[in-house]
Amino acid sequence: MDRVYILKEDTAKRGRPVDFLIWMVSEKKDMVFEKARILAEGNGSSLSSGH
């Protein structure tokens, strides 16, 4: 959450719309979560079997 607020302040100083920033952060966050989820699912079977 701290990173989002830092980005919001930095973007506001550059004159960008905050709504656009929130959308941009949400898009990136979704992509990161999607990648993390895919990686977790890909490694989950081997990790759980070893566990």
How buried is 7 (Cβ within 10 angstroms: 0-12 exposed, 13-18 middle, 19+ buried)?
middle
* Cβ-based neighbours of 8, under 8 Å, separated by 6 or more: 18, 21, 22
Domain boundaries, the chain: 2-50
Q: What pLDDT is attached to residue 34? A: 72
Q: What pLDDT is attached to residue 37? A: 74
pTM, 2 dp: 0.27
Alpha-carbon span 25 to 22, nearest angstrom: 5
Tens of pLDDT along 17-41?
566 666 666 667 777 667 777 777 7
